[in-house]
Amino acid sequence: MAGDFPPSVIRIWMDKLKKGVGLPATVLERSLLNLMSAESASLSVKNATEQGILVARAGGGRSKRLTLAFCQKVTRLPYSPNDPFCFECHLPGVVKKCISCVRSFHEKCQRQDPEKPNYSVPSDKGQPYQFPVNESDDEPLNNTQNLEIPQTPRPLLDHNSNIDQTLLATTDFLKHENFEWDDDVFFVCEQKGARQRKLPRIKDELQSSLDSDEGSDLERCTHCRLLALAALHNPPQLDKQELGCLLKYSWDQHHSWISMDVAKYMAKNWNERDKALVKRVLFKTKILGLRDIEQNIAAEKYTYLTEFLMDLLDLQHNMAMFFGRKSVEYNATKWLMRDVTHDIREIRRCPDCFRYSNEASLSDLWFAKPCLQRHELVFAKQVGSPPWPAKVMSVSKRQPIKYDVRFFGGTHSRALISERDITPIESDIQSYIKPRNSRALSAAIRELQCHMMLSHYSASLFGFHADPTVAENLIKVALSHCTESTETSASGKRGRPPTPATPGVARRRRLNNTTSNTASPVPIRGIPDSVAYDSLTAEVQQANNDLLKCRIELSATQKKLAEVKRKQWCYHCLDEAVFNCCFTASYCSVECQRRDKRRHQASCQVTH
């Protein structure tokens, strides 16, 4: 059984002893000096030799010195059915075996809450980025000169955690992943109804079985404890397909924390035999790599959110054993876990919100879509801004009560707001539509109106399995109803500007109003204006003259036209002529000829 040396020495030795190469014990001891004292290093080599991991071999060549090689027979390597390394701290020692699986743990390492790690990972929200410093890593170091400086992976933008940073800066709230904020939040529901996600029945059974069986928490590993709670902590009505979609969004965003995993390292550096030897010594479960997790997500393997978390814990344990607890690779898993755990919490709060915000690029009004889980709608007041419409994501149970809200409009930012700054939104929000509202607030209220309108439809129309075109059409209809109110508020704004940019602008606007309302404007503003007035008056006079000339021309042309017509049409009524009297007159009818007789007699060229 492997013990008395940290598991990561196996990887270090194998790198030196690839393909059965033998090296003097002193070389193997020296390779460990980054991790431990010279004394511990020589003890580690001695222990590994006693356990049969390293085997003595007569050196070739002239030196004839004794060398150590990695044991080449898998079956001769020490083997124990249970993991000799603690699932929490990844070190050997007196470990307790889990009653349900092959994992082990130190009793003192056991987590209080299986979802909360014992190490602390500071949140990078609202504070400069720092690589985590882990207190539990404080082992004695004899040689630090070769320590790698950890590279800091670039944190990715998290659409779901854009908690207002200015708020954080002032209140110091949530600076660290803190335990004050109770994750086990309750939802405030606008209305209870058939559309609500139903809580699973399994909850009661599980809860009672847990209550009666509290002692088993000390007998089981974190992995098994999580499994027992998986169904209880899963959002109701979240099927494998939808879960696969949500996990993909989370994984795509966060997997880049880790660039190297155990499987990748082995494939890159070792041959199959060396891989098999190391696997036999170190790993009890399947060596889970990044690609395995990606494939599990793509294949919709996960039934529960927690199963995903459990796989990541295995990945983390494997990497800690393989690369060492101080390695960049292992530290990166802490950041991955932090971000994924955050997403898991978000998905538990509202799977629809998580999906909508990850699909924000597909719809302009994604925030107006209703969720199966109805969110209470409130006006939340922040320092320096008017009460702003928001959805309540969760409410803390503890005093002082804080509302975790997400605002309508703009970037849909999140904030924690004290209970006293929260006003529930009445069904009629017309009173909130004021001409004084800023453009941003008007847009936010319009989005709120759309949301309230869309909430009358079944949320399943917007669900994961729904036809997106139906949802888009509903949104379009809602939007067409909601735009009118902002139009009126916008026109009201023109009449009375809320905050004039400069006093001059406002005065000019007032002057424009008076000129348009007065019938005969009087020039009142000095010489330049009276000059302009005179020239304008002259222009008007000129235009009138031109108009008169045109009218004269027009009547002359009309007269000429009538003359021409009279030659071809009835001289009397200008209808189409049917017969000619003589070549100076034609008529449409005898009647017209008779009426025109008195005028025409004088000029008629035909003798009657």
Q: Does 103 bind Zn ion (CB under 5 A)?
A: yes
Where helices occur in 213-327 by DSSP H, the ranges are 222-229, 240-254, 262-269, 272-282, 290-298, 305-323
Q: Where in 122-141 is the site for Zn ion (CB under 5 A)?
A: none
Nearest to Zn ion of 326, 572 (CB atom): 572
Least separation in angstroms between CB 588 and Zn ion: 4
Q: Does 372 bind Zn ion (CB under 5 A)?
A: no
Nearest to Zn ion of 519, 583 (CB atom): 583
Q: Does 377 bind Zn ion (CB under 5 A)?
A: no
Least separation in angstroms between CB 57 and Zn ion: 35
Least separation in angstroms between CB 167 and Zn ion: 21
- Please identify which residue in the block is written with the tokens 């924690």: 416
Q: Kindly report the CA angle at 486 between 483 and 488, in degrees rounded to 5? A: 115
Tokens standing for 283?
């790993």
Nearest to Zn ion of 183, 294 (CB atom): 183
Helix (H, G, I), strand (E, B) or coil at 169: helix
Tell which one of 33, 101, 231, 429 touches Zn ion (CB under 5 A): 101
Separation of first and last alpha carbons in the chain: 146
Least separation in angstroms between CB 221 and Zn ion: 3
**Closest to 228 measured CA to CA, from 205, 243, 206, 201:** 206
Least separation in angstroms between CB 331 and Zn ion: 17
Least separation in angstroms between CB 103 and Zn ion: 5
Rounded Cα distance, 474 and 484, in Å: 17
Name residue 177's beta-bridge partners.
none
Tell which one of 41, 89, 368, 475 touches Zn ion (CB under 5 A): 89
Q: Does 48 bind Zn ion (CB under 5 A)?
A: no
Nearest to Zn ion of 14, 585 (CB atom): 585
Is residue 428 within 8 Å of 459, Cβ to Cβ?
A: no
Tell which one of 2, 48, 224, 478 touches Zn ion (CB under 5 A): 224
Least separation in angstroms between CB 276 and Zn ion: 25
Cis peptide before 498 (omega within 30 of 0): no
Nearest to Zn ion of 338, 451 (CB atom): 451
Q: Does 83 bind Zn ion (CB under 5 A)?
A: no
- Please identify which residue in the block is written with the tokens 């503890």: 398
Name residue 58's beta-bridge partners.
66
Q: Where in 388-427 is the site for Zn ion (CB under 5 A)?
A: none
C-beta neighbour count of 459 within 10 angstroms: 19
Rounded Cα distance, 277 and 157, in Å: 41
Least separation in angstroms between CB 506 and Zn ion: 43
How many C-alpha atoms does 238 have within 13 Å on its Cβ side? Answer: 30
User: Which residues contact residue 142 at a Cβ distance below 8 angstroms, ignoring those fewer than 6 apart?
Assistant: 33, 36, 37, 38
DSSP letter for 58, please.
Answer: E
What binding mask, one character per residue, do residues 294-333 give for Zn ion by CB under 5 A, x or -? ----------------------------------------
Q: Kindly report the CA angle at 133 between 129 and 135, in degrees rounded to 5? A: 155
Tokens standing for 603?
């000029």
Tell which one of 228, 353, 422, 459 touches Zn ion (CB under 5 A): 353
Q: Does 581 bind Zn ion (CB under 5 A)?
A: yes
Q: Does 86 bind Zn ion (CB under 5 A)?
A: yes
Least separation in angstroms between CB 81 and Zn ion: 13
CA distances from 594 to 99, 533, 598 (A): 128, 61, 8
Least separation in angstroms between CB 106 and Zn ion: 3
Helix (H, G, I), strand (E, B) or coil at 393: strand
Q: Which stretch binds Zn ion (CB under 5 A): 142-150, 269-277, 351-359, 429-437?
A: 351-359
List, as one string, the DSSP characters of 469-532: HHHHHHHHHHHHHHHHHHHHHHHHHHHS-SS-SSHHHHHHHHHHHHHHH-SS----SHHHHHHH
Beta strand pairing call for 66-70 and 585-587: unpaired
Tell which one of 23, 35, 347, 371 touches Zn ion (CB under 5 A): 371
Q: Does 288 bind Zn ion (CB under 5 A)?
A: no
Nearest to Zn ion of 433, 604 (CB atom): 604
Q: Does 360 bind Zn ion (CB under 5 A)?
A: no
- Helices 222-229 & 202-212, crossing angle to 10 degrees? 140
Nearest to Zn ion of 332, 350 (CB atom): 350
Torsion angle, alpha carbons of 106, 108, 113, 116, to 10: -80
Q: Does 100 bind Zn ion (CB under 5 A)?
A: yes
Tell which one of 17, 48, 68, 221 touches Zn ion (CB under 5 A): 221
Is residue 343 within 8 Å of 250, Cβ to Cβ?
A: yes
Q: What is the CA radius of gyration of the chain?
A: 42
Nearest to Zn ion of 17, 581 (CB atom): 581
Size of the residue set binding Zn ion (CB under 5 A): 25
Q: Which stretch binds Zn ion (CB under 5 A): 2-10, 52-60, 347-355, 481-489?
A: 347-355
Nearest to Zn ion of 40, 110 (CB atom): 110
- Please identify which residue in the block is written with the tokens 């944190």: 155
Helix (H, G, I), strand (E, B) or coil at 391: strand
Q: Which stretch binds Zn ion (CB under 5 A): 306-314, 353-361, 441-449, 463-471?
A: 353-361
Q: Kindly report the CA angle at 128 between 126 and 134, in degrees rounded to 5? A: 105
Q: Does 188 bind Zn ion (CB under 5 A)?
A: no
Least separation in angstroms between CB 182 and Zn ion: 19
Q: Which stretch binds Zn ion (CB under 5 A): 39-47, 93-101, 253-261, 262-270?
A: 93-101
Longest Cα–Cα distance of the chain, Å, equals: 157
C-beta neighbour count of 270 within 10 angstroms: 18
Nearest to Zn ion of 75, 583 (CB atom): 583
Tell which one of 83, 158, 164, 352 touches Zn ion (CB under 5 A): 352
Q: Does 225 bind Zn ion (CB under 5 A)?
A: no
Q: Where in 587-606 is the site for Zn ion (CB under 5 A)?
A: 588, 592, 604
Query: Which positions touch Zn ion (CB under 5 A)?
Result: 86, 88-89, 98, 100-101, 103, 106, 109, 221, 223-224, 350, 352-353, 371, 570, 572-573, 581-582, 585, 588, 592, 604
